[in-house]
Structure 1
């Protein structure tokens, strides 16, 4: 635990951690709020799934593209424009009742304008702390991310059930706008310059580790989105038990992240961590009582934040610094698409089979995560005795030869 004390001694670390957490918090709320908002407005979870799928398609395009653009135009301009546009579209969806096709188009545009906070902050981290502390910082970030993905739905369910889904969307827009401005104003965002990548867009996907982290993140987060939708369906829109169960799940994840996530990653780390989550989720099938769900999801949560830390560490340790923003863009796209599609599949399953359908969808996604982690152990880096600092970019260096002229090395 001393690693977190050491991180606190690095100037600006906790400030940027809290700023990016606030800016990213709405994305833990949006899938559930949009699911409830569209279902109540149009009558079917399936329609909500269509809107979420459009949003996810936009996010799939935006994630790596915005990461790339930050290397061209700088972080602050890209973050500022996307934050303002995405917030405005969210407010419009909340208050203007339009045909479903128009709302779906707005959701797609909102996905395109998703602020690239995640690739920005994870590109900044290696410039803020020594290499031997980077795994600990990724672990702390992963624990914070769990606040987003698990406490976000708690806030979403509470506000939507007490004041209406319109106000739930307004709360999300407020977090996005003011959290984004806070993050943009931090010194680190202005100080760190992402080198312009030399290779064409998408070339980072030649790194097997980037593909693994993207696909694993998609499957892993989709399972949570389906699980959260199932929990809400079990207890109903207005019941606070859903929020309590999800909060306990978050508590297990936070504890797991702080105790386990900073440990040096080994090739089998992703397998063990995802397996813990699978076991906890599968045990939900034995009872839908709130106390039982709280117990088993707390246990499953112990592997959640450590799994996210492993994904970030895998990417950081295997790509060049100039490629980190785009790489994290792809990983972030996988996770955001996972949220949307996990909720969409869960919505259809709830319409057809009830809450148990969403739980089964979650289990299927987790089983796929475990299988992927097991099959990729030969590719995942062994960081025993190593740090996760990105590979430095190199420039041609002019060296004098014996005759006094220069040659490139």
Structure 2
């Protein structure tokens, strides 16, 4: 724990973590907020699914594109422009009745202009701490982001049900703008400039660790999405039990991140952490009892933040600094697609055989999430005793003191 205390005392680390978490909070709110609002408006989950699909497609396309633009225009201009457009598009869906096709088009724009906060902060981290602190910082960040995925849906459901679905969406906009401004005004954004990449868009995926992290990230987040759908289905949207189980699931991730995050990353690191996720998930369908699910999902959660930290670290250590933002953009795109696919597959199985179907889907996804790094071990860098910072570019990187 002393390594994390040291980290938080490092200049700017606590501030930048808090600012980026606030700016990214809508990521844990918008899907559910849109689902509740569109279903309420059109009385159709099918239509809500179409709007969410448009949002997800936009986000998936945007990941590497807006991340790469930060190397051309700078982080602040790209984040500011996308934040304004995205907030406007989301507000339009909440306030203006447009019709199904127009709602889908606006949702696509909202997804396409989702501010690239995560790639930006992952790119900044290596310039804020020394090489020994980088992997623990990635782990701390991955652990802290559980706040987004636990509190986001809970707050959205409460506001949407108790006050109104319009206010559920507008609250997400408030976090987007407020957190975005906080992040934009952080001095760290002015101290680091991302060099313009000389490679073609997508070339970074030729780096095996980037592709490995993108695929495993897809499977890991798809697993989590299926678990969330299964828990909500088992206990009902308004049941306190669902919130309790999901909170314990997140606490498991937090505990895992803090306890395993400082450990050296060898070639088996990602497979071992995904094995923990699989073991906990594989037995979840045996019973829908709250105590059983709380225990096994806590175990599954222990592997989540450490697995994410490994992915962030091996990507960082495998690409040039000018390519880091785009690389994290691709990893983020994989995770976004995973969230959509995991929810959709779980939904089909829930309709077919009940809540246990979602946990069967999650177990299958987690199993593949374990197999991919197991058989892809030769593509996994050995970072034991090695610097996890990005490779230097051939031209000097501007760092303003």
Q: TM-score, with normalisation over the residues of structure 1?
A: 0.92
Q: Alignment partner of 2:381: what SS?
A: coil
Alignment match, 1:267: 267
Cα shift at 1:110: 1.0
CA drift of 1:356 comes to 2.5
Contact 1:217/1:335 (8 A) holds in 2: yes
Alpha-carbon distance in structure 2 between the residues aligned to 1:149 and 1:23: 13
Rate the CA distance shift 1:142–1:48 in 2: closer, same or farther, 3 A.
Answer: same
1:302 deviates by: 0.7
Q: Give the paired residue count.
A: 396
After TM superposition, give the deviation of residue 346 of structure 1 in Å.
2.8
In structure 2, the residue matched to 1:170 is: 170
Superposition misfits of 4+ residues, deviation over 4 angstroms? none
* Structure-2 residue corresponding to 1:390: 390
SS in 1 for 2:386: coil
Q: How does 1:46-195 map to 2 (within 5 A)?
A: 46-195=46-195
After superposition, residues 347-366 of structure 1 pair within 5 angstroms as: 347-366=347-366
Separation (CA, whole Å) in 2 of partners of 1:179 and 1:387: 31
Q: Distance in 1 between matches of 2:347 and 2:39?
A: 9
1:403 is matched with: none
Matches within 5 A, 1:315-354: 315-354=315-354
1:74-93 Cα deviation digits (max 9, x unpaired):
00010011112112222222
C-alpha offsets along residues 377-408 of structure 1, whole Å, 9 cap, x if unaligned?
A: 11101111112011111139xxxxxxxxxxxx
User: d(CA) in 2 for partners of 1:350 and 1:95?
Assistant: 32
Aligned-pair CA distance for 1:41? 3.4
1:304 alignment partner in structure 2: 304
Deviations 1:116-167 (A, max 9, x none): 0011000000100111110111111111122222332232333333333332
Alpha-carbon distance in 2 for matches of 1:368, 1:361: 11
Distance (Å, rounded) in 2 between the aligned partners of 1:90 and 1:14: 29
Q: Distance in 2 between matches of 1:157 and 1:374?
A: 38
> Is 1:214 aligned with 2:239?
no
- Higher mean C-alpha displacement, 284-293 vs 36-45: 36-45
Number of the residue aligned with 1:283: 283
Contact 2:265–2:383 (8 Å) recurs in 1: yes
Aligned-partner Cα distance in 2 for 1:40–1:151? 22
- State the partner residue of 2:238: 238
Match of 2:399 in 1: none
- 1:306-332 CA distances to partner (integer Å, 9 max, x unpaired)? 011011001001110011011111111
Aligned to 1:294: 294
For residues 86 and 66 of structure 1, do their structure 2 counterparts lie closer, same or farther at Cα, with a shift above 3 Å needed? same
Greater shift in the superposed pair: 232-241 or 248-257: 232-241
- Residue 404 of structure 1 corresponds to none
Distance 1:93 1:363, change over 3 A: farther
Note the aligned Cα RMSD (angstroms): 1.7
Q: Is the 8 A contact 2:288 2:356 kept in 1?
A: no
- Say if 1:302 and 1:163 are closer, same or farther in 2 by CA, change over 3 A: same
Structure 2 distance, partners of 1:108, 1:175, is 20
Per the TM alignment, residue 44 of structure 1 is displaced from its structure 2 partner at its CA by 4.2
Shift of 1:259: 0.5
Deviations 1:321-356 (A, max 9, x none): 011011111111111222233223333333343323
Aligned to 1:23: 23
Q: Per the alignment, do residues 284 and 96 of structure 1 end up closer, same or farther by CA in structure 2, a change over 3 Å counting?
A: farther
Shift of the 15–363 alpha-carbon distance from structure 1 to 2, 3 Å rule, reads same
Task: Measure the CA separation in 1 of the matches of 2:163 and 2:351.
Answer: 25
User: Counterparts of 1:191 and 1:279 in 2: how far apart (Å)?
Assistant: 43
Query: Per the alignment, in what secondary structure is the counterpart of residue 379 of structure 2?
Result: coil
Which deviations, in whole Å up to 9, do the C-alpha atoms of 1:161-197 show, x marking residues without a partner? Answer: 3333332222211111101110011000122100011
CA contact (8 A) 1:56 1:340 kept: yes
| Higher gyration radius (CA) | 1
Aligned residue number for residue 253 of structure 1? 253
CA contact (8 A) 1:20 1:179 kept: yes
Give SS of 1:378's match: helix
Residues 1:275 and 1:388: Cα distance change in structure 2 (over 3 Å)? same
- Alignment CA distance shift 1:185-1:171 (3 Å): same
Contact in 1 for aligned 2:222/2:338 (Cα 8 Å)? yes
Distance in 2, Cα, partners of 1:332 & 1:348: 25
Cα–Cα, structure 1 residues 206 and 338, in superposed 2: closer, same or farther, change >3 Å? same
Q: Matched residues in 1 for 2:35 and 2:347: separation?
A: 8
Q: Secondary structure at the match of 2:394?
A: coil
